[in-house]
Amino acid sequence: MVVEALLPEREFEPLPPHNTEAEESVLGSLLIDPEAIEAVTGFLRPEDFYHPRNREIYAAMVRLLERRHPTDFVMVCDELERAGQLEACGGVAYLSRILTVVPTSIHVEHYGRVVERTALMRRLIGAAGRIAAIGYGDAADVHEALDRAEQALFSVTQYRASREFLHIREVLAEYLEQVQLGPEAGAAAAGVPSGFVDLDRLLGGFQRSDLVILAARPSLGKTALALNIARNAGVRFNLTTAIFSIEMSRWQLAQRFLSTESGVDSSRVREGRLTDADIRKLGESLEALSAAPIYIDDTPSIGINELRAKARRLHAEHPLDMVIIDYLQLVGGTVPENRVQMISEVSRSLKGLARELQVPVLALSQLSRAVESRSPHIPMLSDLR
């Protein structure tokens, strides 16, 4: 007793989240009713089980299912025996015990969801550990570190939201929930409208998860068109839009927005040569634009990792409907010494961002002079410089 009193107090870390009873109930249900495995294999994986022996037993059941063999008591014991894992899994005695844990398999999906939830919490703890390691590490690029940290957390949600096959009936139902049908819907019923009738009729609006490249030679109005699309989305349709303006400052964008919305010539706005009517129009436009869900980031020379991280954070606070980037060639990649590879990398990352956030990404791009040296002057993908 005296020795125990002198010993330093040990600090025991809590066990990771798990539910032994739920794991055994899943396995017991599947041993009772081999057909019940179809109810859980769509979302439950062997690695979701905390206890190694339960993990191996479920993995054996999945292997049997893949070979179209029943997952009953005899077959599971045989599969584990053949793999040399039966004794490590507790032997026949353990399998016999879990066979009696539940009376029927009716609640197997509920038990499976409990196992899945605790596995998700363990992955969340693991992601937190990786994020802490990134924070303690000596990262050369803080934005790259932030992107890696967000990816660690996003990987947890992606694992949770892994997609399974859906019957087309369910896919159609989801689609119809997202679109408007009928004569009042307009040309962009299935996408984010641009506000330009002919363009919406041609494209059907900007489709969610699409990367759209708006390309032209310099000084041909790419930014003006993109800002009009953003203004229409925000002011007319109340759609949340993020603008990454790498070429122009936020003050220049504000001036363009006000001039376009009010109809007052931009040169008069710049020079301050405003009439009373102009001031009234600008005041009305200021009120309309201030209420629009448009967010602007004018960070110069922004890298693709920083851009994606900022878009994710904004999307978490204000669910986005559209992202606009002005322009593609000014976004920094991880291989700046190779321009072709860098543009390819940035394009792939932007497409990934569109899929990740389920929003259209409109990226402006300049065309090379090559398009002017051939006839007809029809741009090709290789003209993106």
Contacts within 8 Å (CB) and 24+ apart, 188-192: 191/360, 192/233, 192/237, 192/239, 192/321, 192/322, 192/359, 192/360
| pLDDT over threshold 70, residue 334 | no
Higher pLDDT, 221 or 109: 109
pLDDT at 311: 87
pLDDT at 112: 92
| pLDDT over threshold 90, residue 174 | no
CA distances from 355 to 179, 314, 361 (A): 18, 16, 9
Distance of alpha carbon 253 from alpha carbon 37, whole angstroms: 58
- Tell me the mean pLDDT in the region 344-367: 86
| pLDDT over threshold 60, residue 162 | no
Yes or no: say if 196 and 155 are a contact pair by the CB < 8 Å rule.
no
Share the mean pLDDT of the chain: 80
Distance of alpha carbon 239 from alpha carbon 225, whole angstroms: 17
Give Cα 97 distance to the centre of its chain.
43
pLDDT at 300: 82
Query: Taking the model in full, what pTM does it have?
Result: 0.58
- Tell me the mean pLDDT in the region 244-272: 80
Q: How many CB atoms lie within 10 A of CB 191?
A: 19
Q: Where are the domains of the chain?
A: 13-164, 206-383
Q: Is 337 a catalytic residue?
A: no
- Tell me the mean pLDDT in the region 258-266: 78
- Tell me the mean pLDDT in the region 168-178: 71
Tokens of 340: 């072709």
Picking from 93-107, 146-160, 256-270, which range would have the lowest pLDDT averaged per residue? 146-160
pLDDT at 183: 45
pLDDT at 1: 45
pLDDT at 56: 94
pLDDT at 164: 58
Q: Which of 109, 116, 144, 247 is catalytic?
A: 247
Q: How many CB atoms lie within 10 A of CB 187?
A: 18
Distance of alpha carbon 308 from alpha carbon 349, whole angstroms: 8
Picking from 3-17, 94-108, 237-251, 304-318, which range would have the lowest pLDDT averaged per residue? 3-17
| pLDDT over threshold 50, residue 187 | no
At 140, the pLDDT band (50, 70, 90 cuts) reads low
Q: Phi first, then psi: give them for residue 44, nearest 5 degrees.
A: -105, 130
Q: What is the pLDDT of residues 191-218, one digit of tens each?
A: 788 888 888 888 888 888 888 888 887 7
Picking from 53-57, 287-291, 317-321, 370-374, which range would have the lowest pLDDT averaged per residue? 370-374
- Tell me the mean pLDDT in the region 258-274: 76
Give residue 159's region: left, alpha or beta (phi > 0; psi -120 to 50). alpha
- The CATH topology of domain 206-383 is Rossmann fold (3.40.50)
Higher pLDDT, 19 or 172: 19
| pLDDT over threshold 80, residue 380 | no
| pLDDT over threshold 90, residue 323 | yes
pLDDT at 2: 46
At 53, the pLDDT band (50, 70, 90 cuts) reads very high
Yes or no: say if 160 and 120 are a contact pair by the CB < 8 Å rule.
yes
Q: Domain 13-164 is in which class?
A: mainly alpha
- Tell me the mean pLDDT in the region 315-326: 89
CA distances from 208 to 56, 193, 270 (A): 41, 11, 36
At 182, the pLDDT band (50, 70, 90 cuts) reads very low
